[in-house]
Amino acid sequence: MTSRMLAISLRTFLVLSMLLISALSQAAQAPADSLLKLHQMRLDTQKSLSSFYMYNNMEGDQRYARMITESLSAADQALATLQDLNGDSSKALSSQLLGLWDVYQKNMKILVATLKSQGYTDLQPVADLAEHNQKIMALSQELYTKIEQETGYSVPPLIQQTRKQSLLMQAIAVDYSSRSASVGATFMGGGDSRSMEDLVNDFASTLQVLSVAPENTPQTSETLSNVSTKWRYIEKSLKNYNENSVPFLVSKYSDSIIEELEQLSSQYAAAST
């Protein structure tokens, strides 16, 4: 073989290798993107319910009406990207989730309009909305697991743990805001029926585990420190929720904590590539 032919063969081999690597990388990225979008959809679904309770708490404060609209829109967009899944079971679950979501979104908008027009809502529709929220959270978790099973892709442990922590913080916010709202503490959403004490203790212990993870970098340690500072500011209020209700404070800081946790997840992802 001449040197010219050898050079051509080597270039061809390199090009084919790069194409194969690119294809494999894209195949691995597809489920990662789907799982991230599904996680974001779950957060926004919980956020919409928490904001609804705050809308009730704050006597129709329009900032919470806007938050509801933004959360519904973000969740709707994230869910729309999940309609091209490859696995048959994932496709079926995604279709079920879309049906549940359409009903939830419609009922939420009706309740917001009712609250805006007459200043209050009947209890049963709110209870139904919270129950619907729990069904969405349960089905979306099933879909999350099924995507991992059918694609063979697993979210890296630290990223997974951080996502769970974000969802837990949002569940705490939903719980707390529902207790403070006039609709009463019975109507909780977020798919977690544990007591507030258990939720708070779980968050605190997991935060400690993340803080001492050997994989932490100066950047992730700084983000975790920010989360810890904000968490300590509201932890006592969460534990003593029956004594001095501060829903505005908890809502504000939980949003900030979740934002930091999502940033932390991105930092872990960047460090692992």
Give a yes or no: residue 5 inside a domain.
no
User: What pLDDT was estimated at residue 180?
Assistant: 77
What is the percentage of the chain residues whose pLDDT exceeds 70?
84
How many independent structural domains does the chain possess? 1
Give a yes or no: residue 201 inside a domain.
yes
User: What pLDDT was estimated at residue 183?
Assistant: 56
Give a yes or no: residue 183 inside a domain.
yes
Give a yes or no: residue 94 inside a domain.
yes
Q: CB neighbours of 267 closer than 8 A, spacing ≥ 6?
A: 217, 219, 220, 223
Give a yes or no: residue 27 inside a domain.
no
Does residue 26 surpass a pLDDT of 80?
no
What is the tens place of the pLDDT at every residue in 195-251?
Answer: 899 999 999 999 999 999 999 999 999 999 999 999 999 999 999 887 878 999 999
Q: pTM (2 decimals)?
A: 0.86
Give a yes or no: residue 255 inside a domain.
yes
Give a yes or no: residue 8 inside a domain.
no
Give a yes or no: residue 15 inside a domain.
no
User: What pLDDT was estimated at residue 245?
Assistant: 83
Containing 222, the helix (H) or strand (E) segment is helix 218-239
What is the tens place of the pLDDT at every residue in 125-149?
Answer: 999 999 999 999 999 999 999 999 9
pLDDT range class, residue 3, cuts 50, 70, 90: low
pLDDT range class, residue 189, cuts 50, 70, 90: very low
Find the domain containing 234 and state its range.
Answer: 33-272
User: What pLDDT was estimated at residue 15?
Assistant: 40
User: What pLDDT was estimated at residue 16?
Assistant: 43
Report the alpha-carbon distance of residue 175 to residue 161 in Å, rounded: 21
What is the tens place of the pLDDT at every residue in 37-95?
Answer: 999 999 999 999 999 999 988 877 889 999 999 999 999 999 988 867 888 999 999 99
